[in-house]
Structure 1
Amino acid sequence: MSQTIRSAGGPDASGAAALDGSPLRGLCAREQTLPALLERQAARYGDKPLLRIGDLERSYAGVRDAAVATAGRLQAAGLERGDRLALMCENRVELLDLILGATWIGAVAVPLNTALRGEQLAHQLRNSSARVLAMDSALVEVLAHAEGIDALEQVWALDGVPADVPTGRFTVTEAPSGDAPVPAAAVGPGETGAILYTSGTTGASKGVCCPHAQFFWWGVLVGEMLEIGEDDVLYTCLPLFHTNALNAFVQALVAGATYELGPRFSASRFWEQIAASGATVTYLLGAMINILMSRPPSEADRAHTVRTALAPATPVALFDAFRERFGVQLVEGYGSTETNCAIGESWRNQRPGWMGRVRNGFDARVVDADDAEVPPGEAGELVLRHGPPFAFATGYFAMDDKTVESWRNLWFHTGDRVVRDEDGWFRFMDRLKDAIRRRGENISSFEVEQALLDHPSVASVAVFPVASELAEDEVAAAIVLREGAGADPVALIRHCEPRLAYFAIPRYLSFVQALPLTENGKVRKAVLRDGGITADMWDREAEGVEVRRIGR
């Protein structure tokens, strides 16, 4: 008998109501686009606040108008339907304006992690074939280390052109001005609205093609799970270039709520900022939970109005303790850049350590290496399928082979190892491959290895995760040196700084005579992972060596 788990409407096996309460769930497909949502909600909510960033507040109509004006500037600058606009900046209103403005004219927004450096940055610019890159002025200098980005025609410095910029490769100018409105392009729900890069595990980063309807369904599905309504204020300090914060904006837009985008996470100021925002809903990552719980108790712990937080990958031991201390109900669930909130439960129906059950309109299986379903209680790969059209990503940009591999047999293969119980609840176990997760960021061991291999002293290297004090991963590297080369850990760290995001730079270095290999010459990373932190490892933090952030 097939073990495929399919959701159904009405009460579930535990008596809880199915999560299908969004008033927009039945919106026709043509209205499931970002321009259509902006128009629809601006007409309905008008002057009601939608967006807050710092001292700036914009209404629903104001956000729509800013998107229209930005779209006009993009079109005047030569961007056309289907063109890719790369964006590399911290949380700021211009970033959201450019994303929405691009989708208004049918162009594709490509938000990039501000920590990208060297080949990682060059790969994403090359792969997306972005014609224009808009970025924080302080980051322009990082382009000096990005080679082969021939498709790039223009670079816009959002805070003014720096005095010293790379020359001879492209022109750096201020972002274009003007406010001539343009009509919205007649984009369909399946057209790509954004390309979001997710770390590769055995290869280069892949650009996930996120259609307009995928954002719509993120807004509907998470909104239902968190029970977001018109009176809610959604606060996030996560970066807008990641799917989490971007989707939170759409959750507010769909529900008629207010969205506040804060500065980067600071444990000492988090509850103060939350209280000042009047937030009722927020978004946390596993490491943030650990950090907040490790701080001394204070009056600020409950001097806020937050009732619930979307908090995937919360350590089981902290789930109830967090609610008891801060008065905030944490909500688990499953979603990825490629999928949607396909698994999850209401905040009323949480089970610590479990992601939940499959959502209405989606299918889930746990399969073995041959895509055959495994019985409940046995670990396997989670594969997913969507019912609503274009609720998942449509593939990887300019990587047809990777698209076919991940969507084989018409199921999306998540690469995550899970267990399903007899009642249809899913529990995350680990990643099948070698991605490392540190401080909320996915790190490709392949890309870290490539950076280290670029050093003249390194003959071969294997990068792998070891346990972190924060219940996530730290990055470790086992290095075989070239004959006659000396081991200089600090020099290797400095070598990585312009080539890797700061969070991807290894903490631990181990110098070995040889790497453990399989019979066909592949590195046996399981041996390295299982060995954990050993006494002969050099520890960057113990040695007091700080990572210097280039361009910041």
Structure 2
Amino acid sequence: MQAGSGSAAGQRRGGSIWPQAAGRFPPADRILSTILTRQAAQYRDRTLFVFGETRWSFAETASIAAASAGRLTRAGIRAGDRVALMCSNRPEFLEIYLGCAWMGAVTVPINTALRGIQLSHILRNSTPKLLAIEACFMPAIETLESDVAPPDLVWTIGEDGALPGSTSPLPALGEAAPPAPVRPDDTVAILYTSGTTGPSKGVCCPQAQMFWWGVYSARALGIVEGDVLFTTLPLFHTNALNAFYQALLNGCTYVLEPKFSASGFWAAARRHQATVGYLLGAMAVMLLAQPPSANDTAHFVRVALGGGVPGQFHGPFLERFGVPLLDGYGSTETNFVFAGTIPSDRPGTMGYLAEGVEACIAGPDDEPLPDGEAGELLLRAGELLAFATGYFEMPDKTAEAWRNRWFHTGDRVVRDADGHYRFVDRMKDSIRRRGENVSSWEVEQVLLKHPAIAACAIYPLPSELGEDEVAAAIQLEAGHALEPIDVVRHCEGKMAYFAVPRFVRIVSEMPLTENGKIRKVALREAGRTPDTWDRDAAGYEPRR
């Protein structure tokens, strides 16, 4: 049995930056406006943010945050109001996020791929007062369920400007607003994470949690002042958003690219003289699949985040590109709570517990289990407000996840005797595909609306890239016929493209438990059966 706070990873890398950060920003100061104002005074003209031709210094970023807050205030947004933001990687995303954080409003970033039931749920649950949406994503609004409508105030982002209806173009920045009296425990963002037996849950991230994301992540990566942090990950997820805090807290430059390109990643890293990179899961595998080049090591990157990259790819990645991949583990509800050594001593695992965090491997009744035995990973923050505060407007789900003073991750994990942690599998019914969480429940709800489908089950099957692919088992209504490709076409436009099943299996009956529930474990264990249709093998690409 064990339940303790770990510092093995920090000790292995020698030195920790978090005491200095904690000292410079005592608990009351762990809010965006104070952090940004203080860092702007220290670093002034040093470049903080780069996107294409856009460059903001530390001082300019503080001014932009204040002006963005003024723009929101003039539009009638007040502290505590939710501002939904459906936008790809571009400066306007950060403008709006920083403005909300400055004046106490709550940003609700929305995955730009969401459609139909998923998008409807987020708007229904968060009840935003303003929707800021990139013009190219306006067609997603047409997929909303009949009982859901966008808020009265809609700003469109992009060169297309205002669109027909009640929308207006994003107003220009104007008069700045003074920092609002924001508290560290005030929610700065609601980030939706996929549901398991129900709809997605909105994770309430307090201002101070984002501070700790910056501290924990920078510590794990060994970030130092002057580093250039290079990410292609989407801002609507925790990873890219907290990388901004890493740069802000440590006097670094944050370089944001529009999206990941396997063929262009290293050229962009060279162009920006990046020193730290951010990769997840299959991205590293895709880079290795590119044709070898004499420029493979012609860059300045000394380390890259490699969470979810299968262990067998760490060695080849280091040998070819000269970059060690950092193992780690975190969640939107918690933080960067596990990190490996650099390079990893056991590639493809979780690493060691971060300093300032407690962990317990527990059995069904939350009883601690001994080292070497798999159980559910429970986590508890030792630092004030380092974790999320709950799920928005879901008190029952909050109480269930944070019961007995521990956050229940739903992940089955093993702790080795030396304090090293290994992920085994998910206890929850969710799927991780290409860095995106897929709610099987939400996909199943869409499938069950097809008149020919009597029952269905969504489950993961392994891909060639070492991650999950979405598989669907379909049982038809008596007297109905349906081809696998029709199942995929039914899903298109009603959900995120990454949630559309790749594998479809038409079955005569579902494997059931004694209580009549579908035994998804039996479907997973069966794997790719002869009657499993593969969308990729058929050459069919679903619409985005």
Same-fold status (TM-score > 0.5): yes
Does structure 1 residue 456 correspond to structure 2 residue 457? no
CA distance in 2 between partners of 1:476 and 1:353 (Å): 24
Aligned residue in 1 for 2:426: 431
Q: Note the C-alpha offset of 1:150.
A: 4.6
Out of 313, 325, 333, the position equivalent to 2:328 is: 333
Aligned residue in 2 for 1:238: 233
Does structure 1 residue 247 correspond to structure 2 residue 247? no
Out of 22, 26, 32, the position equivalent to 1:25 is: 22
Aligned residue in 2 for 1:149: 148
Letter in 1 for 2:157: L
**Consecutive unaligned residues in structure 2, runs of 5 or more:** none
Out of 173, 176, 179, the position equivalent to 1:181 is: 176
| Contact 2:484–2:505 under 8 Å retained in 1 | no
CA distance in 1 between partners of 2:350 and 2:185 (Å): 28
Shift in CA distance, 9/448, structure 1 to aligned 2, threshold 3 Å: closer
Out of 35, 46, 49, the position equivalent to 1:48 is: 46
Shift in CA distance, 235/178, structure 1 to aligned 2, threshold 3 Å: closer
Which stretch shifts more, 334-343 or 294-303? 294-303
CA distance in 2 between partners of 1:18 and 1:42 (Å): 26
Aligned residue in 1 for 2:535: 540
Aligned residue in 1 for 2:485: 490
Aligned residue in 2 for 1:388: 383
| Contact 2:454–2:476 under 8 Å retained in 1 | yes
CA distance in 2 between partners of 1:18 and 1:418 (Å): 27
Q: Note the C-alpha offset of 1:291.
A: 1.0
CA distance in 2 between partners of 1:424 and 1:522 (Å): 38
Q: Note the C-alpha offset of 1:494.
A: 2.1
Q: Note the C-alpha offset of 1:21.
A: 5.0
Does structure 1 residue 219 correspond to structure 2 residue 214? yes
Q: Note the C-alpha offset of 1:149.
A: 2.7
Letter in 2 for 1:230: E
Out of 398, 408, 414, the position equivalent to 2:409 is: 414
SS at match of 2:122: helix
CA distance in 1 between partners of 2:356 and 2:539 (Å): 51
Which stretch shifts more, 186-195 or 487-496? 487-496
Aligned residue in 2 for 1:516: 511
Shift in CA distance, 9/28, structure 1 to aligned 2, threshold 3 Å: farther
Aligned residue in 2 for 1:57: 55
Within-5 A mapping of 1:56-135 = 56-135=54-133
CA distance in 2 between partners of 1:52 and 1:184 (Å): 24
Shift in CA distance, 174/21, structure 1 to aligned 2, threshold 3 Å: closer
CA distance in 1 between partners of 2:256 and 2:15 (Å): 30
Shift in CA distance, 525/113, structure 1 to aligned 2, threshold 3 Å: same
Q: Note the C-alpha offset of 1:343.
A: 1.7
Q: Note the C-alpha offset of 1:400.
A: 0.5
Q: Note the C-alpha offset of 1:348.
A: 5.5
SS at match of 1:544: coil
CA distance in 1 between partners of 2:103 and 2:152 (Å): 19
Deviations, residues 462-516 of structure 1 (Å, cap 9, x unaligned): 0100110000011110011122221133332222111110011001111111111
| Contact 2:156–2:163 under 8 Å retained in 1 | no
SS at match of 2:191: strand
SS at match of 2:494: coil
Deviations, residues 426-476 of structure 1 (Å, cap 9, x unaligned): 011111122111111111111111111111221110010011000001111
CA distance in 2 between partners of 1:341 and 1:436 (Å): 20
**Consecutive unaligned residues in structure 1, runs of 5 or more:** none
Aligned residue in 2 for 1:158: 157
Letter in 2 for 1:106: G
Aligned residue in 2 for 1:443: 438
Letter in 2 for 1:54: G
Q: Note the C-alpha offset of 1:349.
A: 6.1
Within-5 A mapping of 1:259-278 = 259-278=254-273
Shift in CA distance, 318/30, structure 1 to aligned 2, threshold 3 Å: same
Does structure 1 residue 5 correspond to structure 2 residue 41? no
CA distance in 2 between partners of 1:55 and 1:163 (Å): 24
CA distance in 2 between partners of 1:77 and 1:117 (Å): 27
Letter in 2 for 1:127: N
Deviations, residues 300-321 of structure 1 (Å, cap 9, x unaligned): 3111100001111121111122
| Contact 1:10–1:18 under 8 Å retained in 2 | no
SS at match of 2:295: helix
| Contact 2:339–2:354 under 8 Å retained in 1 | yes
Shift in CA distance, 23/543, structure 1 to aligned 2, threshold 3 Å: same
CA distance in 2 between partners of 1:162 and 1:446 (Å): 36
Shift in CA distance, 162/143, structure 1 to aligned 2, threshold 3 Å: farther
Deviations, residues 57-99 of structure 1 (Å, cap 9, x unaligned): 1100111111111111111111100000000011000001100
SS at match of 2:20: coil
Instruction: Give the CA RMSD over aligned residues.
Output: 1.7
Letter in 1 for 2:2: Q
Letter in 2 for 1:158: I
Shift in CA distance, 495/348, structure 1 to aligned 2, threshold 3 Å: closer
Letter in 2 for 1:439: R
Report the TM-score, using the length of structure 1 for normalisation.
Answer: 0.95
Letter in 1 for 2:156: A
| Contact 1:234–1:252 under 8 Å retained in 2 | yes
| Contact 1:462–1:478 under 8 Å retained in 2 | yes
Shift in CA distance, 151/401, structure 1 to aligned 2, threshold 3 Å: farther
CA distance in 2 between partners of 1:141 and 1:10 (Å): 46
| Contact 1:20–1:360 under 8 Å retained in 2 | no
